[in-house]
């Protein structure tokens, strides 16, 4: 009788252990999935941002002739553009892109204060190209930010939070949506 109870107890313990391990594996897999979804969503944006960043030196060159007091802004754009190209992951690129977008908006706003610059064909052509790329990025930003929201929620839920802490998963920043589409046209 004792051996039957021991056997039954052992089976229950093994069953609970296997269930616990299975549950941990499912948590681990869901964390990996939401992390990878951020990478996949960023991949859809990264190509467009690189194309847009190729337009920045052209835009700066055109603006330099007209905007003599914006040297600090030009230097900031160059620094951020280089930083974006050197950034290693989506977290770093997201932070830099948010700063770069703010600087580009400042340049666009400053450009509107120079009628001769704004009227020039090269400036209008490059700003149109940048705006077109921005519109496409804005569409893809929604998917990226949805992926970030799911990831951030997953790593904060209990018991996911414990495993996320062990894996050193940190909340990911959103890609800034505060700037309306088509600005700078």
Within the chain, which residues score under 70 in pLDDT?
1, 68-69, 119, 177-185
What is the CB neighbour count within 10 angstroms for residue 160?
A: 18
Residue 184 is predicted with a pLDDT of: 37
Domains of the chain, first to last: 35-166 (1.20.1440.20)
Give, in order, the Cα–Cα distances in Å from 1 to each of 4, 8, 15: 5, 11, 21
Start-to-end CA distance of the chain, whole Å, equals: 85
Residue 69 is predicted with a pLDDT of: 64
Residue 42 is predicted with a pLDDT of: 92
Residue 183 is predicted with a pLDDT of: 38
């Amino acid at each position: 009788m004792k051996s039957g109870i021991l056997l039954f107890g052992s089976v229950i313990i093994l069953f609970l252990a296997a269930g616990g391990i299975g549950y941990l594996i499912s948590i681990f897999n869901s964390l990996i999935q939401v992390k990878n979804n951020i990478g996949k969503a960023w991949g859809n944006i990264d190509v467009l941002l690189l194309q847009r960043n190729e337009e920045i030196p052209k835009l700066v060159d055109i603006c330099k002739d007209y905007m003599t007091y914006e040297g600090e802004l030009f230097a900031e754009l160059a620094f951020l553009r280089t930083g974006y190209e050197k950034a290693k992951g989506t977290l770093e690129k997201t932070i830099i892109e948010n700063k770069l977008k703010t600087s580009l908006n400042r340049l666009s706003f400053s450009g509107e204060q120079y009628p001769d610059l704004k009227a020039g064909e090269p400036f209008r052509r490059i700003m149109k190209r940048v705006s077109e790329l921005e519109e496409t990025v804005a569409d893809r930003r929604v998917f990226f930010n949805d992926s970030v929201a799911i990831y951030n929620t997953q790593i904060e839920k209990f018991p996911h939070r414990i495993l996320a802490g062990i894996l050193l998963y940190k909340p990911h920043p959103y890609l800034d949506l505060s700037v309306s589409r088509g600005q700078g046209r």
